[in-house]
A and B are shown apart, each in its own frame.
Chain A
Amino acid sequence: KQEVTQIPAALSVPEGENLVLNCSFTDSAIYNLQWFRQDPGKGLTSLLLIQSSQREQTSGRLNASLDKSSGRSTLYIAASQPGDSATYLCAVGGRTTDSWGKLQFGAGTQVVVTP
């Protein structure tokens, strides 16, 4: 069974610092990997989706890398801002036929960016 782990569970940085969030997964046979953002009391918003054939995806200040062989993904947020404060979730999509639509989530990293 796929296990997804996110370390650290919480992170606090001063404004302007770069953020590095880690995600690891146990089964490298994945279809894709996503990073989501969740604000308190709200739903999830997809930030980046990396297909299994890709090594990274970029959107503005966000960059996510994927290393399937080592079972790791890293989300980089450059020049953090207080508005980046949220919980960041990593989710993996499986490759098997019975995995359709079944995302496996990590528990998330809660980020606080202080002014």
Chain B
Amino acid sequence: ETGVTQTPRHLVMGMTNKKSLKCEQHLGHNAMYWYKQSAKKPLELMFVYNFKEQTENNSVPSRFSPECPNSSHLFLHLHTLQPEDSALYLCASSPLTSGGYEQYFGPGTRLTVT
């Protein structure tokens, strides 16, 4: 186990639904990340949080809304998604050393938008 958990592991939602993805890390890290992984494409960084503060929003559409209530928890709130948003959503955490590049990943949430 990497110490980063994600729930749910699978999610099917309609375009008008509202759902949330949850990530929790048990590693004592202070930075957390959301990534999107679509088939045959490189991982895309979506959001970065340091000490609960958002430091990066990589031009993500507003239908994705992140929330970081503390350094151990990260949420991704979803609403009015499109079919092209279907992907594997990965959460990661890192200590503040090594430029934030020592990232530990969760198993991901497989999202299908119908």
> Which A positions have Cβ atoms within 8 angstroms of B?
4, 9, 31-32, 34, 36, 41-46, 49, 89, 91, 93, 99-108
Q: How large is the interface on B (under 10, 10 to 19, 20 to 34, 35 or more residues)?
A: 20 to 34
Tell me, in angstroms, the Cα distance from A108 to B103 when the chains sit together. 17
B81 close to A (CB within 8 Å):
no
> Which B positions have Cβ atoms within 8 angstroms of A?
2, 4, 31, 33, 40-43, 45, 48, 50, 55-56, 88, 90, 92, 94, 98-108, 110
Q: How many whole Å from A2's CB to the nearest CB in chain B?
A: 11
A32 near B105: Cβ-Cβ < 8 Å: no
Residues of A with C-beta under 8 A to B55: 100-101
**4 additional contacts (CB under 8 A) given A36-B105, A44-B92, A102-B48:** A45-B105, A99-B99, A101-B33, A102-B56
B41 near A107: Cβ-Cβ < 8 Å: yes
Q: CB within 8 A of A32: which of B42, B98, B110?
A: B98
B2 near A106: Cβ-Cβ < 8 Å: no
A46-B102, A46-B103 known; A101 vs B31 contact (CB < 8 Å): yes
Residues of A with C-beta under 8 A to B31: 101
B106 near A43: Cβ-Cβ < 8 Å: yes
Q: How many whole Å from A94's CB to the nearest CB in chain B?
A: 9
